[in-house]
């Protein structure tokens, strides 16, 4: 015996615009398929058997196909039912995501979060934090921007990023809130392995001044040179991030201050660390946000988790 009307007795063709498939019908269908019986599905859903039976029958009418055949002991999916079950489950999952996302927005949860991230921040825990973010807020739109120094400050000031991580600055504008992460990154001075500086047993400040300096620049400002590196008689090349500086150094264009972990990961053994007094040095990292914009629940959660890594 077939539940509902068979395919040749359609009340509503699939292509018609008045089809109105309810989530309740899809839920009854999926649960009945899982349980193998209408009575078990009704108990699982907390509904009467007649309600579940009616929902399945209504879905068969709407779809124009028979979904189940009743066997002696349990329901059996028809070929069409088996084919449509995966689609029904996809719709139910999408409906669940919609409900969760709407509930989060109603609680004030932001739909999007942008983090401006310096290469000075490279703890192994960051991958773990992203995994937690994905699991806890699966519908969040997350963006990570690589930026340094003044550009991180600018992105947070403009509201382009809610949070920023950068090498600790001596002072901040009054509108920028900050918290110190106890972790730090180690920076060294690097050149290409065949650069003349790499042949020196000990490198002095005056040795560095004879060769081109590769330093950070800013996208937002004409000149945001805030480092304390020795000058090179005006001979310098600049780039807005450390990875570009690393590539310039690898090609032999000059020497650069670089995070050791970045060099270990991306130089593939092509750079030489200069033995210079005062180097390597450790750079602490700050988290920053704007006092002019209240952090949303997701940003506040991520900030707390990053500070816990300290």
Note the pLDDT tens digit of each residue in 173-210.
989 989 999 788 999 999 999 999 999 999 999 999 99
Q: State whether 160 and 91 are in the same domain.
A: no
Whether 75 and 128 map to the same domain: the answer is no
259 falls in which pLDDT band (50, 70, 90)?
very high
Q: Decide if 10 is inside a domain.
A: no
Answer whether residue 6 is part of any domain: no
DSSP state of 159: T
Residue 245, domain member (yes or no)? yes
pLDDT band at 222 (very low <50, low <70, confident <90, very high): low
For the cut 60, the answer to whether the pLDDT of residue 38 exceeds it is: yes
- State residue 199's pLDDT score: 96
Confidence check: pLDDT of 12 > 50: no
Asked, for residue 256, whether it belongs to a domain, the answer is yes
Residue 136 has pLDDT above 70, yes or no: yes
pLDDT tens-place string over residues 41-89 = 888 888 899 998 999 999 999 899 999 987 667 788 999 999 999 898 8
Q: Which residue has the higher pLDDT, 156 or 7?
A: 156
State pLDDT tens for residues 146-172: 999 999 999 999 999 999 999 999 989
| 239 shares a domain with 202 | yes
For the chain, the average pLDDT equals: 86
Structure confidence at residue 74 (pLDDT): 79
Please say if the pLDDT value at position 283 is more than 70. Answer: yes
Please state whether beta strands 281-290 and 255-259 pair in parallel, antiparallel, or not at all (unpaired). unpaired
Q: Check whether residue 233 and residue 199 sit in a common domain.
A: yes
Q: How far from the centroid of its chain's Cα atoms is residue 261's Cα?
A: 21
List the structure tokens of 185: 């990154």
Number of other CB atoms surrounding residue 30 within 10 Å = 17
Residues 60 and 143 in one domain: no
Does residue 199 sit in the same domain as residue 276? yes
- Cβ-based neighbours of 292, under 8 Å, separated by 6 or more: 175
- Same domain as 131, residue 267: no
CATH number of the domain enclosing 149:
3.40.190.10
User: What gap in Å lies between CA 155 and CA 133, rounded to an integer?
Assistant: 21
Q: Which of 70, 91, 107 is the last residue of a domain?
A: 107
C-alpha 191/C-alpha 198 separation (Å) is 7
In a domain, 82, yes or no: yes
Mean pLDDT within 20-32: 87
Structural tokens at position 250: 């690898």
Are 146 and 207 part of one and the same domain?
A: no
159: containing domain = 112-177+288-307
Position 34 scores a pLDDT of 86
Q: Are residues 123 and 99 in the same domain?
A: no
Same domain, 271 and 209: yes
Does the residue 4 lie in any domain?
no
Residue 197 shares a structural domain with residue 55: no
State the CATH number of the domain containing residue 239: 3.40.190.290
Whether 163 and 34 share a structural domain:
no
CB atoms within 10 A of CB 46: 7
Mean pLDDT confidence for 113-135: 92
> Would 16 be classed as within a structural domain?
no
pLDDT the model gives residue 69: 87
């Amino acid at each position: 015996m077939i539940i509902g009307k068979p395919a040749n007795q359609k009340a509503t063709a699939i292509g018609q615009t008045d089809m109105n498939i309810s989530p309740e019908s899809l839920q009854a269908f999926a649960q009945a398929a899982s349980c193998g019986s209408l009575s078990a599905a009704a108990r699982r859903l907390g509904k009467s058997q007649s309600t579940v039976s009616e929902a399945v029958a209504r879905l068969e009418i709407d779809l124009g196909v028979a979904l189940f055949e009743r066997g002696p002991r349990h329901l059996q999916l028809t070929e069409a039912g088996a084919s449509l079950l995966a689609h029904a489950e996809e719709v139910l999952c999408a409906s669940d995501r919609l409900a969760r996302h709407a509930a989060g927005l109603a609680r004030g949860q932001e739909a999007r979060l942008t983090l401006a991230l310096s290469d000075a921040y490279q703890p192994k825990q960051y991958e773990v934090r992203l995994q937690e973010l994905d699991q806890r807020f699966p519908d969040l739109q997350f963006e990570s921007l690589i930026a340094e120094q003044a550009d991180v400050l600018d992105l947070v000031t403009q509201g382009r990023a809610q949070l920023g991580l950068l090498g600790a600055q001596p002072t901040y504008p009054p509108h920028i809130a900050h918290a110190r992460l106890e972790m730090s990154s180690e920076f060294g001075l690097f050149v290409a392995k065949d650069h003349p500086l790499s042949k020196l047993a000990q490198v002095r400040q005056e040795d560095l001044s004879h060769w081109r300096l590769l330093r950070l620049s800013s996208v937002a400002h004409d000149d945001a040179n805030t480092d304390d590196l020795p000058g090179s008689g005006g001979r310098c090349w600049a780039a807005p991030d450390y990875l570009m500086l690393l590539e310039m150094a690898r090609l032999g264009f000059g020497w650069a201050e670089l995070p050791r972990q970045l060099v270990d990961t991306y130089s593939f053994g092509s750079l030489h660390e200069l033995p210079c007094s005062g180097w390597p040095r450790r750079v602490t990292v700050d988290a920053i946000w704007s006092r002019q914009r209240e952090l949303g629940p997701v940003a506040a959660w991520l900030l707390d988790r990053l500070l816990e890594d300290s």
